[in-house]
Amino acid sequence: MSCRSVAVFLVLLLSTSLGIPLLGQFRPDQSSGRGITFANEALSSPFGDTMGVGRISGTVRTLDGHPVADANVEVRDVERGSRSVSGRTDSQGSFSISNVAPGSYEVTVSMGVDEAHERVQVTSVGDSTVNLRLPRKDAGEPGGKGSTVSFSQVSIPPKARSLYEKASELLLHNKAEEARKKVDAALALYPKFAEALTLRGILQDSTGRRKEAIEDMQQAISFDPNYAVAYLALASLFNSSGRFQDAAPVLGQVERLAPNSWQTYFELARTNIGIGEFAKAIRNIDHASVLQGKDRPEFHLVRGYAFLGLTEMPNAAHELEAFLASKPVGTVAEHARHVLDELRANTITASR
């Protein structure tokens, strides 16, 4: 394979969202305003291949009744293996995970070294609730060491929050222009609204305004350093801009805040490829696959290039074939097919 072909493939691989648009990848959770939910894949649930029919919601409080803000929440699918999704509690200690298929789930909440677990059964449309307690007397008190949500985010006016939630819903119905108006209105009311800044950044990038998108996400992080979605969106934009050295430290924060999100390791793999760490890329994309519960086509594409970097050509060809079987059309597919054709031609030449 020529160096030029590999370089072209690398540019295309790392300058595209690979079929995981930011607009669908980051849907704000409307109950807590902070969790990461999954609204792409034709609105599929992270826990299965079909549309989820329920919701797991609940609260996290200390033993003496104070809400625990910004506690990590992990929901693991007990019946279908290792699939899981994570988020964080809001300023009232509440959380909500949407689009959950019927089944048995284990909910784990943690803050520092403190942890609590409870099993919950999702059986029908509506909420399955769970209320957990953490042994932290000061976790929910103002200024307590467990209260890590920035004051600016606790102070968001209800009207701004409502506008932001309307923008999120509009985006789900592909009404980006209307969504932009709502999110602008939310920010006019409260300029330090981290979730709204992140959503506006995503909208900015969808219209080709990447510089402005990055600025919005950096602002979101400055106003709320614990908002994992802003870090993840920013890292994705850095990767797509070829700024891999910039993406790496941002993803370090994402890994701390959202260690069970498959997108975290997908973006880490893209960064690894960009800086030539091909073996690490394979480990990270494999971990993303475990967390997601299945291999997405884009995972095969990332592995394919990582194997190319390691000069493991048979493995590279196998992964590219798997990608093309699922995504046979589009610019990325055309160049993947070109690289695969060159791999096959070189294999035939070498065997003569």
What would the pLDDT profile of 147-184 be if each residue is shown by its tens digit?
344 555 667 888 998 998 888 888 777 788 999 999 99
Nearest to 169 by CA among 320, 319, 27: 27
Give pairs for 156-160: CB < 8 Å, separation 24+: 156/33, 156/190, 156/193, 157/189, 157/190, 159/189, 160/186, 160/187, 160/189, 160/190, 160/193, 160/196
Q: What is the CATH number of the domain that holds 287?
A: 1.25.40.10
Q: How many helices (H) and strands (E) does the chain have?
A: 14, 9
Residue 162 within any structural domain of the chain: no
Residue 72 within any structural domain of the chain: yes
Is the domain of 323 the same as that of 273? Answer: yes
- Mean pLDDT in residue range 61-66: 74
Is the domain of 8 the same as that of 69? Answer: no
Residue 179 within any structural domain of the chain: no
pTM over 0.85: no
Nearest to 203 by CA among 170, 227, 235: 170
- Domain end (from 117, 149, 181): 149
- Mean pLDDT in residue range 199-210: 90
Check pLDDT > 70 for residue 208: yes
Is the domain of 9 the same as that of 100? Answer: no
Contacts of 59 by beta carbon, 8 Å cutoff, 6+ apart: 67, 89, 92, 93, 94, 95, 131, 132
The secondary structure of residue 67, as a DSSP letter, is: B
Q: How far apart are CA 58 and CA 67, in angstroms?
A: 11
CA distances 166 to 28, 65, 135, Å, are 11, 32, 37
Q: At what angle do helices 194-206 and 176-189 cross, to 10 degrees?
A: 150
Structure confidence by residue, pLDDT tens digits, 315-332: 999 999 999 998 898 888
Average pLDDT of the residues of the chain: 77
Check pLDDT > 90 for residue 86: no
Domain coverage including residue 110: 45-149
Q: Which two tokens stand for residue 75?
A: 């929901």
Expressed in percent and rounded to 5, the helix, strand and coil fractions of the chain are 50, 15, 30
Q: How far apart are CA 218 and CA 225, in angstroms?
A: 10
Q: Which residue has the tokens 């475990």?
A: 290
Q: How far apart are CA 236 and CA 262, in angstroms?
A: 13
Q: Name the strands in the sheet holding 103-111, side by side, starting at the edge strand that comes first in the sequence.
A: 84-88, 72-77, 103-111, 114-122
Check pLDDT > 80 for residue 220: yes
Residue 60 within any structural domain of the chain: yes
Q: What pLDDT does residue 314 have?
A: 92
φ, ψ of residue 63 in degrees (nearest 5): -60, -30
What's the maximum distance between 2 C-alpha atoms anywhere in the chain? 77
Q: What pLDDT does residue 126 have?
A: 63
Is the domain of 97 the same as that of 133? Answer: yes
Total number of domains constituting the chain: 2
Is the domain of 52 the same as that of 12? Answer: no
Return the H-helix or E-strand segment holding 113.
Answer: none
Residue 290 within any structural domain of the chain: yes
CA distances 301 to 22, 126, 315, Å, are 18, 37, 11
Q: What is the CATH number of the domain that holds 143?
A: 2.60.40.10
Q: What pLDDT does residue 279 have?
A: 96
Nearest to 305 by CA among 272, 341, 330, 329: 272
Is the domain of 7 the same as that of 66? Answer: no
Residue 131 within any structural domain of the chain: yes
